[in-house]
Structure 1
């Protein structure tokens, strides 16, 4: 630290007053200035050492490389969403006295409900089965697939614990094992206006009744392509997770 002209002038004045006007010697002034500088440096160094010690005591890093762990932003790329509804590993089949399990050969997951989906797979036998599972057990599920003779088969119901079906050699269409096959699936939200749409499209009358409609009559109305198309337009596309699983015997089992 360098002293200014004012510092030297003050020192000369102080010296003169303390010695009854005797002139101050240059050597004395220089020694006094050096002593003041040494004292100030010692005080500054001591304050810095105390600050470092205080930081060490409270456990803070002297040169932090980044924010504390608690302040680090969450990296959304590493947060994986839940996998959705569980897909069973096997499909239980009961044909009279015969009972066996079909292993899983293909599955697909979806994150929205409303639009129809087509799931394509390659069957390995004539015993192909399928199952649809939903995050919301109250969601409506409709399936459609080809049958022998050019007919169309399928099912409709609340999803519950899963909606499924299974082929055998009497139901599969011609050329079943010769090319990939497909299963159409619609999953509608639980609050979809199925009743209103069914009444608007076809009246929604239960068998044996002239008027009236309740939930027991709704599954059969959902098998009507016109009802499904109208319902798709009413519902649109909404968030909702579900999955389709395809099961089959090994090809050698027939």
Structure 2
């Protein structure tokens, strides 16, 4: 049975004298002090026992699963994907003629859903380009300057690469007068392309009575209002992709090539 300090005092007062009437030894206050010391020692021992038990439990069970995952996880730099690489050459066809253009410029990006500008210096009127993506299902739109109009566009799923090239009829008159810029949009694979095209009234199905499907919507994706609306809905998201620019070697480059 446990007693409070006041209970102990009452008990001790009741039995404060022995049969001869003398006070017991030790005195009441000394007994109380001794009891307080014993309680402090007991609490200290209990804390020590709990601490030892906790250490023993860790030694027996080992680190928890969260610690194990932290140890097993590689550093964040090891998990970063390497951007896809454009091919070193691009083969183009002009009528019956086919020729290969070498890579003259590369740019890499780590996000999708926003417009990107790619600037370079062309060396001929046959400049080509190719976009490659980490996700082959990503949507790609490329807008390039054209002779006699503001711009033309190419669009589709990234697949093995979305690309194109100029020739002497399509290249703008000032194509070789300095640096040129093309605009590129890459959207996630699940971007709501059909929904946006339908809402803007831009879809024109290939077959009469057909609904606006992915093929029909992709054909009108390069329209500025579609690109603006889709960018607003999707927003900027992570996604690796790159573009390669291809062109004929300059006269100086050809002069250094082995015969």
State the partner residue of 1:196.
195
- Kindly state the Cα deviation for residue 248 of structure 1 after the two structures are TM-superposed: 0.4
1:203 and 1:101 mapped to 2: Cα distance? Answer: 37
2:204 and 2:74 mapped to 1: Cα distance? Answer: 55
Detail structure 1 runs of 4+ shifted over 3 Å in the superposition. 73-77, 79-82
State the partner residue of 2:160.
161
Partner SS for 1:202: coil
Change (3 A) 1:213 1:74: closer
2:136 and 2:206 mapped to 1: Cα distance? Answer: 26
Partner SS for 1:227: helix
Cα deviation code 1:9-67 (max 9, x no counterpart)? xxxxxxxxxxxxxxxxxxxxxxxxxxxxxxxxxxxxxxxxxxxxxxxxxxxxxxxxxxx
2:108 and 2:138 mapped to 1: Cα distance? Answer: 15
- Kindly state the Cα deviation for residue 83 of structure 1 after the two structures are TM-superposed: 2.1
- Kindly state the Cα deviation for residue 210 of structure 1 after the two structures are TM-superposed: 5.0
1:227 and 1:170 mapped to 2: Cα distance? Answer: 28
State the partner residue of 2:29.
none
1:204 and 1:100 mapped to 2: Cα distance? Answer: 36
1:182 and 1:125 mapped to 2: Cα distance? Answer: 15
- Kindly state the Cα deviation for residue 205 of structure 1 after the two structures are TM-superposed: 3.1
1:162 and 1:190 mapped to 2: Cα distance? Answer: 14
Stretch moving more, 196-205 or 242-251: 196-205
1:119 and 1:205 mapped to 2: Cα distance? Answer: 30
State the partner residue of 1:86.
85
Change (3 A) 1:186 1:178: same
- Kindly state the Cα deviation for residue 111 of structure 1 after the two structures are TM-superposed: 0.5
- Kindly state the Cα deviation for residue 90 of structure 1 after the two structures are TM-superposed: 0.3
Whether the 8 Å CA contact 1:205–1:211 is kept in 2: the answer is no
1:129 and 1:232 mapped to 2: Cα distance? Answer: 26
Work out which of the two has the higher radius of gyration on C-alpha atoms and give 1 or 2.
1
State the partner residue of 2:147.
148
- Kindly state the Cα deviation for residue 208 of structure 1 after the two structures are TM-superposed: 4.6
Q: TM-score, normalised by structure 2?
A: 0.65
Change (3 A) 1:81 1:173: same
- Consecutive unaligned residues in structure 2, runs of 5 or more: 1-70, 255-259
Change (3 A) 1:128 1:241: same
Change (3 A) 1:210 1:244: same
Partner SS for 2:211: coil
Change (3 A) 1:80 1:136: closer
State the partner residue of 1:238.
237
> 1:36-51 residue pairs with structure 2 within 5 A?
none
Partner SS for 2:200: helix
- Kindly state the Cα deviation for residue 75 of structure 1 after the two structures are TM-superposed: 6.4
State the partner residue of 2:16.
none
1:74 and 1:95 mapped to 2: Cα distance? Answer: 50
